């Protein structure tokens, strides 16, 4: 192994040269995504064991050719910047956001307490104030940035448990069975959160969705009564904005009224859809969100930030302290509930990186309208894709999409449709021209696409549908049905 001194490792000249090499490779990669995407695969290989064998021990030397390794990382990664990546809800990161992430990583300041990262803590506070204002909250709101929507939903529901259980759960533990009502189409992390919270297997009471994959007032009433029959005290209802699988937005106004009537905590999982408040064209999908007690907002989905960066915002700032009520004198000099200078009083993370810096920078650099136009474009593409699917007798929509998530399936005159959809998806991914996924909605398997790339065009979607038709036809010839 090459002997490298500390002075060499921290050399400004070496850092400048090496970083420039990486930037050059990433710039060439980005250019190829714009110019050579028709010949470049979205995913180079699906031979996972082969990829594992490519990765040597972390103690093996690069033999002074680390650039080849970086190139291999680029080649064998999932190419989110490819216009034909139309799979999961993962952002196509803005290049400038990634560059600012380098600044954050390099400085390595924490936002746990202000002295560990003064300007970083201030930036997080200002970013949360902006999110709260866009949601429609007043000046007494507050929150924090944490690592992802799953953790954000857990933190909000922990606060709900403390506020609505009727006693001090943090200090005294759970005194009676509690429950959270949530749509059967919601993200799995909500049910996981209730079990982490100690509510047990039946702590998440499912609300049956209708044919449009949305909850109704009647379904809310039925689930509430089910909880009571199980001798559980309902503390909260989670409204999805939007539901992960079908991409449907709940009628948040109905849920808000229900929660007000029963004195329940109203939480909105807006990981994907909360930023839609920025769009004049589609903001009606979020009507009622300002009445929520808490909202989760992922910047690493519909705001094109690298993972992870999630805002957890509370209508009443004091409630942002309710999830964790812990004394840590080595960090905190007081127990104030309005102390922006000690953000980690409210977060699970202590060594907490400056996650909000990239979002704050890009908002100032590009402006709100830039992100609103991105939302409008991807949602418009979702509607266009649904339109051409509806006009093609070989396909069937699961539901008319409200945004950029479109679920559909190839129709066959014989055989098992569910098996066929899975086979189609697997083959499309193996071929590598496109990347899509599949999901199960009300016991039926559908192909699922999420249009996240601003360079995915109408032509791209036409080609995708044609490609799926070709793949399905060949599979049927092979008697895979």
pLDDT one digit per residue (tens) for the chain, 481 residues: 568 899 999 999 999 999 999 999 999 999 999 887 888 999 999 999 999 998 888 988 887 899 999 999 999 999 999 999 999 999 999 999 999 999 999 999 999 888 999 999 999 999 999 999 999 999 999 999 999 999 999 999 999 999 999 999 988 999 999 999 999 999 999 999 999 999 999 999 999 999 999 999 999 999 999 999 999 999 999 999 999 999 999 999 999 999 999 999 999 999 999 999 999 999 999 999 999 999 999 999 999 999 999 999 999 999 999 988 754 443 445 555 557 788 888 888 888 999 999 999 999 999 999 999 999 999 999 999 999 999 999 999 999 999 999 999 999 877 789 999 999 999 999 999 999 999 999 999 999 999 999 999 999 999 999 999 999 999 998 876 5
Answer positive or negative: Cα dihedral of 348, 58, 71, 8: positive
Identify whether the C-beta of residue 278 lies closer than 8 Å to the C-beta of residue 372.
Answer: yes
Identify whether the C-beta of residue 294 lies closer than 8 Å to the C-beta of residue 156.
Answer: yes
Give CA–CA dist 466/481, Å, rounded: 19
- The β-bridge relationship of strands 395-397 and 437-441 is unpaired
Q: Give the 3-state secondary structure of 179-198.
A: EEEEECCCCHHHHHHHHHCC
Question: Domains along the chain?
Answer: 6-36+44-77 (no CATH), 109-366 (3.40.640.10), 378-477 (3.90.1150.10)
Q: Residue 331: what pLDDT? A: 41
Q: Residue 329: what pLDDT? A: 46
Gyration radius from the chain CA atoms:
24
Answer positive or negative: Cα dihedral of 237, 240, 245, 246: positive
Angle at 269 between CA 182 and CA 102, to 5 degrees: 150
Taking 3-state DSSP, the helix, strand and coil percentages for the chain, each rounded to the nearest 5, stand at 45, 15, 40
| pTM over the 0.75 mark | yes
E strand intervals along 270-350: 294-298, 310-314
Give CA–CA dist 58/338, Å, rounded: 45
Tokens 């449009």 correspond to: 212
Give the other-Cβ count within 10 Å of 253's Cβ: 13
Give CA–CA dist 383/229, Å, rounded: 42
Q: What dihedral do alpha carbons 280, 286, 289, 294 form, nearest 10°?
A: -110
Give CA–CA dist 233/426, Å, rounded: 44
Identify whether the C-beta of residue 425 lies closer than 8 Å to the C-beta of residue 437.
Answer: yes
Q: Encoding tokens for residue 235? A: 């503390």
Give CA–CA dist 65/62, Å, rounded: 5
CA atoms within 13 A on the CB side of 369: 0
For 122-156, give one letter per residue: b (16+ CB within 10 A) or e. ebbbebbbebbebbbbeeebbbbbbbbbbbbbbbb
Tokens 């993962």 correspond to: 90
Give CA–CA dist 70/441, Å, rounded: 39
Determine the 3-state secondary structure of 103 from DSSP: helix
Helix axes 149-164, 188-196, angle to 10 degrees: 50
Determine the 3-state secondary structure of 368 from DSSP: helix
Render 139-192 in DSSP notation, one character per residue. Answer: TT-EEEEES-HHHHHHHHHHHHHHHHSSS-HHHH---S-EEEEEETTS-HHHHH
Determine the 3-state secondary structure of 25 from DSSP: helix
Give CA–CA dist 64/58, Å, rounded: 15
Angle at 20 between CA 18 and CA 24, to 5 degrees: 120
Tokens 């031979």 correspond to: 47
Tell me which residue of 375, 374, 378 sits closest to 456, measured CA to CA.
378
């Amino acid at each position: 192994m090459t002997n490298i001194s500390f002075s060499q490792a921290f050399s400004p000249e070496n850092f400048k040269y090496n970083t420039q090499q990486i930037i050059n490779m990433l710039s060439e990669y980005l250019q190829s995504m714009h110019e050579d995407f028709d010949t470049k695969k979205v995913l180079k290989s699906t031979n996972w064991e082969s990829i594992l064998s490519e990765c040597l021990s972390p103690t093996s030397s690069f033999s002074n050719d680390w650039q080849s390794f970086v190139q291999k990382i680029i080649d064998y990664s999932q190419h989110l910047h490819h216009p034909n990546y139309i799979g999961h809800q993962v952002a196509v990161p803005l290049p400038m956001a990634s560059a600012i992430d380098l600044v954050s990583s390099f400085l390595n300041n924490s936002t746990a307490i202000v002295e560990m990262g003064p300007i970083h803590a201030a930036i997080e506070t200002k970013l949360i104030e902006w999110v709260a204002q866009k949601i429609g909250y007043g000046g007494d709101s507050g929150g924090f940035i944490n690592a992802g929507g799953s953790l954000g939903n857990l933190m909000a529901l922990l606060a709900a448990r403390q506020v609505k259980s009727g006693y001090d759960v943090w200090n005294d533990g759970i005194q009676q069975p509690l429950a959270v009502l949530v749509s059967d189409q919601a993200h799995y992390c909500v049910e996981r959160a209730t079990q982490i919270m100690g509510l047990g297997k039946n702590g998440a009471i499912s609300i049956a969705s209708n044919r449009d994959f949305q909850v109704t007032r009647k379904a809310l009433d039925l689930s509430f009564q089910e909880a009571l029959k199980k001798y559980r005290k309902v503390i909260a209802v989670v409204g999805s904005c939007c539901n992960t699988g079908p991409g449907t937005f709940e009628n948040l106004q109905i849920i808000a009224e229900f929660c007000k009537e029963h004195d329940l905590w109203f939480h909105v999982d807006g990981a994907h859809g909360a930023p839609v408040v920025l769009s004049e064209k589609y903001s009606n999908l979020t009507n009622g969100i300002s009445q929520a007690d808490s909202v989760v907002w992922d910047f690493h989905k519909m705001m094109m930030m690298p993972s992870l960066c999630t805002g957890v915002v509370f209508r009443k700032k004091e409630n942002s302290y309710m999830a964790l009520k812990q004394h840590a004198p080595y960090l905190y000099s007081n127990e104030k509930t309005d102390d922006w200078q000690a953000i980690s009083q409210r977060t699970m993370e202590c060594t907490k990186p400056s996650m909000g810096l990239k979002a704050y920078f890009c908002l100032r650099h590009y402006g709100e309208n830039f992100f609103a136009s991105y939302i409008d474009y991807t949602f418009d593409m979702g509607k266009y894709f649904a339109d051409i699917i509806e006009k093609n007798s070989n396909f069937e929509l699961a539901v008319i999409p409200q945004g950029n998530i479109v679920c559909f399936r190839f129709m066959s005159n014989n055989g098992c449709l569910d098996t066929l959809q899975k086979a189609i998806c697997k083959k499309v991914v193996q071929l590598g021209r496109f990347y899509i996924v599949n999901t199960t909605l009300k016991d039926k398997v559908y192909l699922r696409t999420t249009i996240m790339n601003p360079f995915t065009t109408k032509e791209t979607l036409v080609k995708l549908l044609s490609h799926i038709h070709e793949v399905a036809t060949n599979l049927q010839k092979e008697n895979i049905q």
